[in-house]
Structure 1
Amino acid sequence: MVTKRDEMEPVTDLVIIGGGPAGLYAAFYAGLRDIRVTVLEAQEELGGKLNFYPEKFVWDVGALPPTKGHIIRQNLIEQATTFDATLYTDAKVTRIKQEDNQFYVEDKKGRVHPCHAVLFAIGGGIVSPKKLKIPVHDDVKRNIHYSFPNQEMIRRKNVLVSGGGDAAVDYANECLKFAEKVTIIYRGSALKAHEASAKLFQRNGGMLIFESEIQEIQKGETCAMSLVLNNKRKVEVDHLIVQHGHDRDSTFLESLDFPFKKEEEFYLFCEEPTKTNIEGIFAAGDIQFSKGKLYLLAGVFQEAANSINQIKQYLEPESNSYGMVSSHNHKFDKKNEELIKGKDY
């Protein structure tokens, strides 16, 4: 057995590995189909890639007006809890075992989650921003950001962006809309970002510091922090945005004892969308590759719903191949009454 009995969680129908857009929407749709769900997210926050661009507008989801990433993230989390799904964060999965047609999914805290099916929704792997490994004064840590901060936080402030790639320059251009002064610091002699983005930054008044790296961050005198550079120069700023790339932990799939078919040595290849070659294990979102795949947020929702319909038939072969649409689903009767109460539609 994979663990002691007192460490075992209650048996559930489905464990979803990953709490990004695919995993969250799958949790919601599973509730529509009466599938009990546990979601395990490796990071400390739900939302997946949406956490990388919280203040950027998303335009390409049908019927959704341009909406900032953090709002979509919050809406997805609320939607995922509609039918009482169990969600864990900081719960990186360490192993999966299969015994007698039942799966046992263990997380890093030693909890084992028995289930009848598994859905991988892990995107491109566990992706984390590369963080500074230098001395930082405790009082200024809250002013260091690894994703785009709330725009009101940087309004009329002095902001420095560390990095020279597309993400760094994109963030810097966005900062120019709100901040009083924006500077890019880069260790190279020229930016690596697209030429058009780099020219836009300079044309709009952005400042550049080349062939320099931050070696220490102290408490500032005129601004929140004082950055000590490798040439002993000091630069004072209110906020620091770090864009040094991301680390991707892709060792998880390699450690499992399942002979998955893969695309490009990482993505789970599905001959039929969302069905891996291992019975009882499904995939949705960026981790899933199949013919005609659509790499858009809207496509993630399609795959999530499709995977749940496939899982429902795997768990109950006599069930319908798709769920009842929400506009005619009695599961929403009470919720609909609450929404229209006191409102004129």
Structure 2
Amino acid sequence: MKDEIFDITIVGAGPVGLYATYYSGLRDMKVKLIDALPQLGGQLTALYPEKFIYDVAGFPEILAKELAENLIAQAMQYEPAIFLNEKIIKLESLEDEKIIKLTSEGGNIHFSKTVVLSLGIGAFVPRKLDIPDVKRLEGRGIHYVVKDKSIFRGKNILIVGGGDSAVDWALNLEGIAKHITLIHRRDVFKAHEDSLRKLFNSTVEVKTFYELKRIHGDEHVKGATIFDNRTGEEIYLDVQHILLFLGFLANLEFIQSWGLEIDKNAIKVNSKMETNIPGVYAAGDIVNYPGKLKLISTGFGEAAIAVNNAKNYIEPASKYFPGHSSDFVPKKLKSK
């Protein structure tokens, strides 16, 4: 009839997508995992592999790349089909056959009985400052992500931002960098309370109501001028690296034509993680519903809900509640 049809296809191989892949295998579904990036792990590996994560159950702290490795190992137990470097640009519901057709940018076509969209924040680009020399010195002392902490060893660094990324990296780089200055344009931070407590008890120099005005350096960052946005007072800092953590701009334009209902720049779902298209579910930061919390831990629960409902959708006689995982023996252990 058609090319191979899968029970479920997960689009997005970040932490939520990897957990959905594992759970699909646990429910004995034939599963495919697709991602636009060349590696599994999503933002954990692409944006902040060296960052510690503190709010995942069971881990007092864990590096993002290690969490990704654990999730990958968990997902691979059931031998899913993996397709990387595949950006899905079209989703069609073939209602007469109850099949979802997915088309990639390269022209590949995938058929599935159900789909779970775990796209994170969609296509994302970092927010940038509109000041001279930022673009010119990107990659030469200007950073939006940290992939290798060692380049900051013994250096003076400036961190700009007041959210979790800015505060967490200030703490992560303490003891590695020679000196850290963190500036924020106001005195209210968006970071977790515990992180802020640690920040203000650290050696990091925190300056509130300060903003970045000018970057100095020819081939590499050599300094920065910051200013007090209340008085206009300027201060020159001798820094070799500037980390700009101003958030990311989400872009859902690539799914606007799919027929999904969008709410507040996210895919609208109900309590079953169902979208308005039958057989299409969504989970993680890409979704919105009343009371939504954009946390990895929340996304894990949403992934399990989506997959269990997808199983029930294609096999109405199956139980929605799968039983406890302790009742199952993972495939890799059955062979021992």
TM range (shorter): 0.7 to 0.9
- 1:326 paired residue number: 325
Following superposition, the deviation at residue 291 of structure 1 comes to: 5.2
> Which residue of the partner structure matches residue 32 of structure 2?
38
Q: 1:18 aligns with which of 12, 15, 20?
A: 12
Q: Which residue of 2 aligns with 1:296?
A: 295
Distance in 2, Cα, partners of 1:275 & 1:164: 35
Deviations 1:25-49 (A, max 9, x none): 0001111122122222234443334
> Separation in 2 of the partners of 1:240 and 1:172?
12
Query: CA 1:29 to 1:160, structure 2 compared with 1: closer, same or farther past 3 Å?
Result: same
**Counterparts of 2:274 and 2:211 in 1: how far apart (Å)?**
49
Q: Aligned with 1:303: secondary structure?
A: helix
Rounded to whole Å, the distance in 1 between the matches of 2:39 and 2:63 is 17
Shift of 1:311: 0.9
Equivalent residues of 2:93, 2:277 under 8 A apart: no
Deviation for aligned residue 1:133 = 6.3
The secondary structure found in structure 1 opposite 2:23 is helix
**Aligned amino acid, residue 248 of structure 2:** H
Q: Distance in 2 between matches of 1:82 and 1:217?
A: 50
CA distance in 1, matches of 2:145, 2:53: 16
Question: What CA distance in whole angstroms lies between the structure 1 residues aligned with 2:305 and 2:124?
Answer: 25
Query: After superposition, what is the alpha-carbon deviation per residue over 1:265-310, rounded to whole angstroms, capped at 9, x for unaligned?
Result: 633131x321223211112223334456554322222221121111
The residue type equivalent to 1:214 in the other structure is I
Please list, as runs of the form range in 1=range in 2, the aligned pairs for 1:1-345 lying within 5 A after superposition. 10-51=4-45, 52-99=47-94, 100-130=97-127, 134-136=135-137, 141=139, 145-161=143-159, 163-166=160-163, 167-168=165-166, 170-183=168-181, 191-192=185-186, 194=188, 204=203, 206=205, 211-214=212-215, 218=219, 226=222, 239-258=241-260, 260=261, 262-264=262-264, 266-270=266-270, 272-290=271-289, 293=292, 295-332=294-331, 334=333, 337=336
Check the 8 A contact 2:9/2:33 in 1, yes or no.
yes
Partner deviation per Cα, 1:103-122 (whole Å, 9 max, x = no partner): 11112222111111111112
State the 1:149 CA deviation: 4.1
For residue 86 of structure 2, give the secondary structure of its aligned residue in structure 1.
Answer: coil
Does the CA-based 8 Å contact 2:52-2:172 persist in structure 1?
A: no
What amino acid does structure 1 have at the position aligned with 2:219?
A: Q
Question: With structure 1 as the length reference, what TM-score do the two structures score?
Answer: 0.74
Structure 1, 272-281 or 59-68: larger mean CA deviation: 59-68
Compared CA separation, residues 45 and 229, structure 1 to 2 (3 A) = farther
If the length of structure 2 is used for normalisation, what is the TM-score? 0.75
Amino acid at match of 1:117: T
Aligned residue for 2:107, secondary structure, equals: coil
Q: String of CA shifts for 1:27-78, please: whole Å, max 9, x gaps.
A: 0111112212222223444333435544443333333332222211221122
Q: What value does the CA root-mean-square deviation take over the aligned residues?
A: 3.8
User: Is the 8 Å Cα contact of residues 218 and 228 (structure 1) preserved in structure 2?
Assistant: no
Structure 1 164/28 Cα, relative in aligned 2: closer, same or farther at 3 Å? Answer: closer
- Per-residue deviation at 1:160? 3.7
How many corresponding residue pairs?
Answer: 313
Unaligned runs of 5+ in 2: 227-235
Deviation string, structure 1 residues 73-93 (Cα, Å, up to 9, x no partner): 221122222211123333222
Secondary structure of the corresponding residue to residue 322 of structure 2: coil
Between the aligned residues of both structures, percent identity stands at: 29
Determine helix, strand or coil for the equivalent of 2:77.
Answer: coil
Does the CA contact (< 8 Å) of 1:103 and 1:116 recur in 2? yes
Deviation at 1:255, TM superposition (A): 1.9
Of 75-84 and 120-129, the range deviating more from structure 2:
120-129
Task: Provide the secondary structure at the position in 1 that maps to 2:318.
Answer: coil
CA distance in 1, matches of 2:286, 2:79: 25
Q: 1:212 corresponds to which letter in structure 2?
A: K
Task: State the secondary structure of the residue aligned to 2:4.
Answer: coil
Could you list the per-position Cα deviations for residues 233-266 of structure 1 after superposition, in whole angstroms to 9, with x for gaps in the alignment?
A: x9875544333432211213322135x3x44363
Aligned to 1:340: none
CA distance in 1, matches of 2:185, 2:172: 17
Return the alpha-carbon distance in structure 2 between the equivalents of residues 255 and 55 of structure 1: 36
